[in-house]
Amino acid sequence: MTTIRHNGVRRQRTADRRKKGSESDAHDFTAVVSGIRGEVRFKAPLRDFTSFRIGGPADVLVVPADVDDLCSLVRQARTAKVPIFVLGGTNLLVRDRGIRGVVVSLSKLSAIQDEPHGVVYAEGGIGMPTLMRHAISRSLAGLEWAAGIPGTVAGCVVMNAGTRLGEMRDAVKAVRMVDPLGHIVDCPASAIQFSYRRARLPRGIVVGVWLQLKSASRERIQTVVKEYLRYRKDTQPLTLPNAGCVFKNPEHEVSGRLIEAAGLKGARIGDAQVSEKHANFIVNLGRARASDVIALIKKVGRTVEEQAGITLELELKIVGQP
């Protein structure tokens, strides 16, 4: 009897705490998004915002109207001690329980400005395909490597996205950021440490980038882009939801080759499958859960390690509530 009451009391207290917690969270979120001019959605499913079409909900999803709106959001979130996560790159897997706190989409930051001497300023929410079309229309070369990359400009800066034709660091002249205090700061490329699929930036959110491009023949740029798009279409599973390459290439090796050699092409857990076309891609056949993808990643890593003695390092970023 006593035990039951004790358990009952404990359970009640826990329930009260949980209720209090969620009420205070709700209160904090209201304060965090107060006066925000952009879109605000509570409990927004993130699967609609990821190229993998996988992911649980964000407590709050905010699409700031402009950079000033984002600055206000950053200040208010800081005051309320609520974390902010910025969606951007497509090399992303959001866990099934979603992301706590505020998730930001920069999709309304979509201006492009031409500056003298081949410099283009692109706001962070622009998709790489849009930016590339703009560069081609101005006969500016330097982004051909990105043909077929669906991520945002900011996402590509943050992970120094690249292909065998080049990478983001080749073109970045400077970056505009919103710092953790909610101020706009500009950061020259010399203050950023770029390495393979990585950029060490000051803390903050990338909201724009100045790119140094080069004048070139439009036909020539178009030819390179077309050829490269054809190569990707022939070798990568572009028609199924995916998040790009799952693993980085180890030094002097290619992950796709190692995974294929380990006999894993087509390996499947739930609706997550190692692509039949390119073994370093995992595709979502329909209703894949993040937990399926994670289990498959573990299986691939383990098998390659056993068979080739090489530890693969993730390129894909896994985020959200474990």
Site residues, ligand EPU (CB under 6 A): 91, 163-164, 232, 235, 244-245, 248-249, 254, 256-257, 260, 278-280, 315
Inter-residue contact 202 to 193 (CB < 8 Å)? no
CB of 291 to ligand EPU, least distance (A): 22
Give the Cα separation of 183 and 98 in Å (integer): 28
Nearer to ligand EPU, 222 or 235 (CB): 235
CB of 53 to ligand EPU, least distance (A): 16
Six-digit token pair at 123?
């706001």
DSSP 230: H
Give the Cα separation of 49 and 70 in Å (integer): 18
Cα 25 to Cα 20, 94, 288: the distances in Å are: 8, 21, 30
Q: How far apart are the first and last CA of the chain?
A: 36
Nearer to ligand EPU, 26 or 254 (CB): 254
Q: How many CB atoms lie within 10 A of CB 101?
A: 18
CB of 281 to ligand EPU, least distance (A): 7
Give the Cα separation of 319 and 99 in Å (integer): 7
CB of 47 to ligand EPU, least distance (A): 19
CB of 41 to ligand EPU, least distance (A): 28
CB of 265 to ligand EPU, least distance (A): 6
Six-digit token pair at 182?
């909610």
Q: Which ranges in the chain belong to alpha helices (H)?
A: 2-33, 67-80, 128-137, 153-158, 218-235, 255-261, 290-308
Nearer to ligand EPU, 57 or 162 (CB): 162
